[in-house]
Structure 1
Amino acid sequence: MNRLPLTFACEDQTLAGTIDTAPASVGLLIVSGGNEIRAGAFSGQARLAERVARAGFPVFRFDRRGVGDSEGKNRGFRASAKDIAAAIDAFRAMAPQMKRVVAFGNCDAASALMLASGAGCEALVLSNPWTIEDDQDDLPPSAAVRSRYIEKLKNPAELARLVTGGVDLRKLARGLARAALPRSQPSSLAQDMAAGLEKFEGQVRILLAETDRTAQAFVEQWDSADSRIAYCEKASHAFVEPHARDWLFEQLLMALRGSSRP
């Protein structure tokens, strides 16, 4: 395995990328979420790329326009389809043995892949897709509130606090009212994501971290019976817990090996 930095073109701008080489004919494209650079938070994506490459699969990461080492204006995830497509072209050029590209994105990177209908990849791994509109309130979704109260009811210490007056009853009432709200209608972003994904003909797996608010908001606006969904218990948004890192790695390997089981 070798790690090589490179540059490639997206329209009239120059983008920066990194490839971890490996011999397999299937490769992993990691799309960064938010305004995150290609190494990821605390180099998490760089470590993931190394681990996947050591398993035999080439991995490509990149900074979209206006982020990190790449030129241009940052227009956000909704306008990143051309960046993703350019990265796929560069990846194929650097690893000519590849016959199949699996793209992985977390949060709004997953949303970007859905909006772009895969942008030319053969398979998608979408984790904790972002469905919240800019003008939505910042209160937790009702599913998140219900989940939180269920966990509290399982905890004897929390029940003791309730009995002994250690709980703010006004706050509790507001929380219960929020939890009782019906499922929200899909946002226009969620609808656009669903429409984009419907056009994609390849294999899809949707990975959700059980304790993540973004994942809980996604489920409220998606078909929770979707057979492509898999949950990682007690995992946070970036799958930083040791068991969650291993789970994510195994899910990516299954996608790279062509397994249909989420």
Structure 2
Amino acid sequence: MLGMAVKGFQDRIQIAYSKSSSKDALQTYIHCAKTCIEEGLPAILELVGGRPRIPDLPSWCPHLGTQKAHGQSFRTWHRAGISDDVMTNDLFHARTTTTDNNLDIAGFRVDTVSECVESEHPGPFSRVMQQPVTWARKFVTWEAQCLALAQRTRLEVVPVEHVLTLVVTRRRLPNIKEKDLLQAHHDNLLAVKFLAQERDRIRPPQERTELCWDACQENGNLCTNRRYFSTENGRLGVGPLDIKKGDTVCVLYGTRPVYVLRESEGTGEWLLIGGAYVHELMDLTGL
């Protein structure tokens, strides 16, 4: 954390060295996080979701003492309606104080979480080689539960928003057509189902091999250590594992993903649960 905040730490961070008090060390850690915020580094908020929490840390401060969650960042193109042309630190309005560890940040509410899928993604595609049949069966179960929630939300057999939520592949193939992406998802799902049933392996047509592989990789990056959810306004997304019904989906100015917040009863304060991907809010036209 000190490395992230090193630019101006000499003037802003109150370093407390103590061999007897872990509280002093924790406060130093929080001061580093505050410096990141004051220097206009909103990316620190992207590191919150998918990590265990420490009660003494404010919810907006990531616990970097744990192993990094796989695919933690939603990458630069997943931005809540903010294009590269206006993505500057001037949009990031956040401040901290010396009297408490709260974070004041500008933004607005977009939606409310209505339902979450209980099961979790079995992990990135690289784990297939370790226990292929077990991985495939878990994936099929998880995807079926996600699809069922999408069908209840969108009232369609296979909502396109469902596929685009699971397969956001713009890394190497930025100009793919929607119909090709839907077909790639179908090819991948069929192959995994064959694997789960221990049947002969099938491969996608040669012309879609690259797209299918890319879609599979992106699905693992996006959905590992995250939970699939729907919103009251009929949107679909993936967010932190501890997301739950009633949480609020927000846009925080100058940040990349949308964020999930939870109101603390009777305090007027909010807990930052973590970043989320919601297709209709993050295709640069949804807002």
Please, what TM-score do these two structures have when normalized by structure 2?
0.23
Please, what TM-score do these two structures have when normalized by structure 1?
0.25
